């Protein structure tokens, strides 16, 4: 009698679909879902438990920590240490309680006779899809040590790129917040003192001064309304960005931001090429590899293009032909993929393209960082300067009247 499996999957637009399916086993259930052109997010017997959506709790391991874990596993495996011994040693010295808990459970699963990939699949909400799939391929081909080394390099590189992009986007945000705080502090503490002085002088004030005094008066009167409103707005935006619709909207918008859009696009292309390169190079079938890459590329626009290409590959098209209809993949990428397919060295060509775009991201981020810092500081100085001018102009006029 067929069993019932509950699933959550993503369609080609990125929308999450939930449902149930009857199949003889979980593998057949997965096949039936893929036949519907869906990417599996969750698949389990019976009812899937809903994940917590708390704003302050997140069950995840930082990419940098995971890169360190992969490097430790790679080093110990290459040295001839068994998987279970490596897992036990890493879990005993890990400073992350979540990682320690998960690795301890993985060690128990290994002792019970399960493979490394099966033990990791139990914690698929923590272990990335690409990690589980490559470990499974490495076990099947008997080259787990090579696969772990590739994974270590992959996650280290991704961690470095993510940190660079984060630093480039964080600095303007910090300066912007500082500017807002400085402006509010000046408007609520300094400007009101000058307002009283100007009122007593009974002189006609310049337009810039009137505007500044009006803004100061509004902030002082409605301060206790504005602050809670701002906090509520920030919390609402954070919650919205955690939803599927919000996350996809932000991902689409990020590609259109001047200058930064190029960084996000090149980063996604580099992640696509690097992930697909190591998956194909490890023996994972192209259709399955594209399904995995669509989940790890971390941008709904690229995920949709990859899923469209995956559909084309299943119908007999080449990868370059499947991606050609997407505006997000550059002619350079398509040309290099075509050359790699014709030469029978697609994984090597993907690796070279990934090197190029990852270097482009690093170079662009470094260049933008050197430009943004002085511009933001100049902008903050300009704001403070405008406020000072609005105060000093009436004082100069008062001085000339006294003379």
Per-residue pLDDT of the chain (403 residues; tens, 9 = 90+): 456 778 777 776 666 677 777 777 777 788 888 777 777 777 777 544 444 333 333 456 788 888 888 889 888 888 888 888 999 888 888 888 888 889 999 988 888 888 888 888 888 888 887 888 888 888 877 778 888 888 888 888 888 888 877 777 777 788 888 888 888 888 888 777 777 777 776 667 778 888 888 888 888 888 788 888 888 998 998 888 878 788 888 888 888 888 788 888 998 898 899 889 888 887 888 888 898 888 888 788 888 889 889 998 998 889 999 999 888 898 999 999 999 999 888 989 999 999 999 888 888 888 887 787 788 888 888 888 888 888 788 777 666 655 5
pLDDT for position 58: 44
Residue pair 319/307 in contact by the 8 Å Cβ criterion: no
| Helices 346-402/260-281 angle, 10° precision | 160
Euclidean distance between CA atoms 2 and 26, whole angstroms: 10
Q: Could you tell me which CATH number the domain at 63-157 has?
A: 1.20.81.30
Structural domain boundaries in the chain: 3-45, 63-157, 158-403
pLDDT for position 401: 52
pLDDT for position 183: 82
Residue pair 322/310 in contact by the 8 Å Cβ criterion: yes
Residue with tokens 């991201």: 361
CATH top-level class of 158-403: mainly alpha
Euclidean distance between CA atoms 66 and 94, whole angstroms: 11
Q: What is the mean pLDDT of the chain?
A: 82
DSSP code string of 255-318? TTSTTHHHHHHHHHHHHHHHHHHHHHHTT--HHHHHHHHHHHS--HHHHHHHHHHHHHHHTT--
- Common-topology check for domains 63-157 and 158-403: yes
């Amino acid at each position: 009698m067929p069993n019932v499996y509950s699933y959550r999957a993503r369609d080609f637009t990125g929308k999450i679909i939930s449902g149930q399916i009857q199949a003889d086993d979980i593998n057949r259930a997965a096949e039936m879902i893929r036949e519907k052109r869906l990417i599996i997010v969750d698949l389990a017997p019976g009812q899937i438990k809903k994940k917590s959506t708390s704003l302050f709790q997140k069950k995840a391991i930082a990419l940098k920590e995971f890169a360190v874990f992969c490097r430790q596993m790679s080093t110990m495996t290459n040295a001839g240490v068994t998987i279970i011994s490596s897992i036990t040693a890493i879990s005993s010295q890990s400073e992350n309680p979540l990682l320690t808990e998960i690795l301890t459970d993985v060690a128990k699963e290994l002792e019970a006779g399960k493979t490394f990939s099966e033990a990791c699949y139990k914690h698929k909400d923590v272990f990335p899809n690409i990690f589980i799939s490559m470990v499974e391929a490495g076990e099947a081909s008997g080259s787990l040590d090579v696969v772990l080394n590739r994974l270590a390099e992959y996650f280290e590189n991704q961690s470095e790129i993510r940190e660079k992009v984060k630093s480039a986007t964080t600095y303007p945000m910090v300066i912007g917040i500082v500017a807002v705080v400085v402006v509010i502090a000046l408007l609520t503490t300094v400007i009101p003192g000058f307002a009283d002085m100007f009122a007593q002088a009974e002189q006609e004030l310049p337009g810039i001064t009137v505007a500044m005094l009006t803004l100061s008066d509004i902030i002082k009167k409605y301060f206790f309304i504005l602050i809670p409103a701002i906090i509520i707005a920030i919390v609402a935006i954070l919650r919205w960005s955690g939803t599927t619709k919000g996350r996809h909207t932000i991902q689409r918008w990020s590609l259109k931001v001047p200058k930064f859009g190029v960084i996000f696009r090149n980063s996604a292309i580099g992640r696509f090429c690097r992930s697909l390169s190591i998956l194909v190079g490890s023996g994972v079938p192209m259709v399955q590899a594209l399904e995995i890459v669509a989940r790890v590329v971390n941008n709904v626009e690229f995920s949709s293009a990859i899923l469209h290409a995956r559909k084309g590959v299943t119908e007999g098209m080449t990868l370059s032909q499947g991606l050609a209809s997407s505006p997000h993949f550059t002619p350079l990428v398509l040309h290099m993929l075509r050359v790699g397919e014709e030469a029978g060295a697609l994984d090597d060509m993907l690796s070279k393209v990934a090197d190029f775009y990852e270097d482009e991201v690093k170079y662009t981020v470094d260049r933008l960082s050197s430009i943004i810092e002085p511009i933001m500081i100049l902008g903050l100085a300009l704001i403070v300067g405008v406020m000072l001018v609005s105060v000093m102009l009436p004082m100069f006029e008062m001085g000339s009247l006294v003379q």
